[in-house]
Amino acid sequence: MRSDYLFTSESVSEGHPDKVADQISDAVVDLFLRKDPEARIACETLTTTQLVVLAGEIRGKGIYEDGEWAAGVPEEVEAAVRETVRRIGYEQDGFHWKTFRFENNLHGQSAHIAQGVDESGNKDEGAGDQGIMFGYACDETPDLMPATLDYSHKILARMAADRHSGTAPFLEPDAKSQVTLHYVNGKPVEATAIVVSTQHKEGWDAGEKEAELHAYVKRIVAEVLPAGLVTDKTVWHINPTGSFVIGGPDGDAGLTGRKIIVDTYGGAAPHGGGAFSGKDPTKVDRSAAYVSRYLAKNVVAAGLAKRCTIQLSYAIGVARPLSLYVNTHETGTVDDAKLEAAIAKVAEDKLGGLTPKGIRLGLGLNKPIYATTAAYGHFGRKAEGELFPWERTDLAGALKAAL
């Protein structure tokens, strides 16, 4: 690692058009998993001015069988979509939860995909697609996440909470943040630049109101970042284009899966390329990325490394991963090859293996837990009840024992 460098990550709010699309797709996933925990879902969403379009393939008992929708389900889908947009807070002329035009183009899952994924006879449940997935953890923050991304997420989450509570009534849903930190010997020592662009109500782009908005943003950033990181030298860019009244899907089209780096590690670690939102947990794009994070986080939590990257790879229709790769970036306390063997053993003992079925059952992923993942990152969140089970650190002891 370099001993002295700058690094930057960005985040986007729940009202960003791509994140609106992600949240709609995951609301559909949750709706269907409530009806059938074994449902197959691949739901893509397009948002633009006064329009939401769904497309993709689905299958499930009481949902879509033999080429037909179950009675009342299309109406439930539309209600879930509109409720998602209402919860985010869009009641604007260009995008309003009550009045946008809605198209549902979901259809039945391909029989050729189904035959590869489903268990049958002596065949185990196969991966829903080929691909590579990465997990990462580091000791920069208590959440074991890259600090630049962790702070970027939390700035926007705080602003959204204030908007919903009425504390910041001048804010609208769309926003982006970006944090640049100066690292010395692998640790952040100073915030060199902060960028926050937030949609706002009319009139908050000049004079005293603009000054109030800027002061509010600086206060939130100072409260989120650890003391001492923001200094007199920190460069600020708050709504650098000036006005930001037109935003969300009215300002730019949104699509599911276009914020995969925001969803994962902010560029501090590799990404396999597959998006998460809109997919049921037989899709290893989602479930294997979650278990990779789970394993990497437990490696760091166990004190076996300061940084850990894990890669898994799969072939469509094949149950077991084709490869498991571990890299502790020369921060590990044991050889990486030995750590790979320990991880494989612990995954087999505690999860039933790194097959799609083992991951789903071991982490409890066949549940409607995904709507909350679709904004402010899938990782670095608090494991609470059934939510974010891949953020638990309950394997740390088993990993140390295996070594």
pLDDT computed for residue 58 by the predictor: 95
Residue 56: count of CB within 10 angstroms of its CB: 18
Residue 195: count of CB within 10 angstroms of its CB: 18
Catalytic choice (59, 163, 200, 283): 283
pLDDT computed for residue 218 by the predictor: 98
Catalytic residue at 66? no
Q: Which of 111, 112, 81, 115 is nearest to 98 (CA)?
A: 81
pLDDT computed for residue 106 by the predictor: 97
The answer to whether residue 363 scores a pLDDT higher than 90 is yes
Catalytic residue at 10? no
Residue 43 lies in a domain: yes
Residue 238 lies in a domain: yes
2 pLDDT tier (thresholds 50, 70, 90): confident
The answer to whether residue 226 scores a pLDDT higher than 80 is yes
Catalytic residue at 209? no
CB 353 within 8 A of CB 281: no
CB 358 within 8 A of CB 351: yes
Catalytic choice (82, 259, 306, 357): 259
**Domains held by the chain: number:** 3
Do 28 and 8 fall within a single domain?
no
Residue 27 and residue 372: Cα distance in Å, rounded?
Answer: 9
pLDDT computed for residue 127 by the predictor: 84
Catalytic residue at 19? yes
Catalytic residue at 57? yes
Residue 260 lies in a domain: no
The answer to whether residue 119 scores a pLDDT higher than 70 is no
Catalytic choice (18, 129, 280, 391): 18
Do 74 and 96 fall within a single domain?
yes
Rounded to an integer, the average pLDDT of 73-95 is: 98
Catalytic residue at 98? no
Catalytic choice (140, 280, 285, 391): 285
pLDDT in tens, 4-49: 999 999 999 999 999 999 999 999 999 999 999 999 999 999 999 9
Strand partners, 391: none
Catalytic choice (59, 82, 163, 279): 279
pLDDT above 70 coverage of the chain, percent = 97
Q: Is the dihedral of CA 297, 302, 308, 312 positive or negative?
A: negative
Residue 263 lies in a domain: no
Do 288 and 398 fall within a single domain?
yes
Residue 64 and residue 58: Cα distance in Å, rounded?
Answer: 7
Residue 262 lies in a domain: no
Question: What is the C-alpha radius of gyration for the chain, rounded to an integer number of angstroms?
Answer: 22
196 class by beta-carbon count within 10 Å (0-12 exposed, 13-18 middle, 19+ buried):
buried
The answer to whether residue 116 scores a pLDDT higher than 60 is no
The answer to whether residue 66 scores a pLDDT higher than 60 is yes
Rounded to an integer, the average pLDDT of 89-94 is: 97
pLDDT computed for residue 28 by the predictor: 98
pLDDT computed for residue 109 by the predictor: 85
Catalytic residue at 244? yes
Catalytic residue at 34? no
Do 295 and 326 fall within a single domain?
yes
For 248, 312, 401, the CA distances from 367, given in Å and listed in that order, are 29, 23, 31
pTM of the model: 0.95
Catalytic residue at 232? no
Catalytic choice (80, 222, 253, 341): 253
Do 112 and 170 fall within a single domain?
no
**Orientation of helix 284-301 relative to helix 336-351, angle to 10°:** 120
pLDDT in tens, 147-189: 999 999 999 999 999 999 999 999 999 999 999 999 999 899 9
Catalytic choice (124, 190, 252, 340): 252
The answer to whether residue 114 scores a pLDDT higher than 60 is no
pLDDT in tens, 198-220: 999 999 999 999 999 999 999 99
Catalytic residue at 134? no
396 pLDDT tier (thresholds 50, 70, 90): very high
Catalytic residue at 176? yes
Do 159 and 75 fall within a single domain?
no
User: Hey, what are 296's tokens?
Assistant: 């990497």
Catalytic choice (14, 16, 306, 398): 16
Catalytic choice (82, 258, 307, 360): 258
Catalytic choice (38, 55, 57, 222): 57
Residue 126 lies in a domain: no
Q: Quote the domain boundaries for residue 49.
A: 17-117
Catalytic choice (82, 154, 176, 307): 176
Q: Residue 211 sits in a domain of what CATH number?
A: 3.30.300.10
The letter for the amino acid at 231 is T
Do 8 and 43 fall within a single domain?
no
CB 266 within 8 A of CB 12: no
Do 311 and 229 fall within a single domain?
no
Do 310 and 394 fall within a single domain?
yes
Catalytic residue at 400? no
pLDDT computed for residue 244 by the predictor: 97
Do 309 and 201 fall within a single domain?
no
pLDDT in tens, 267-312: 999 999 799 999 999 999 999 999 999 999 999 999 999 999 999 9
Strand partners, 96: 91
Do 8 and 86 fall within a single domain?
no
Do 197 and 135 fall within a single domain?
no
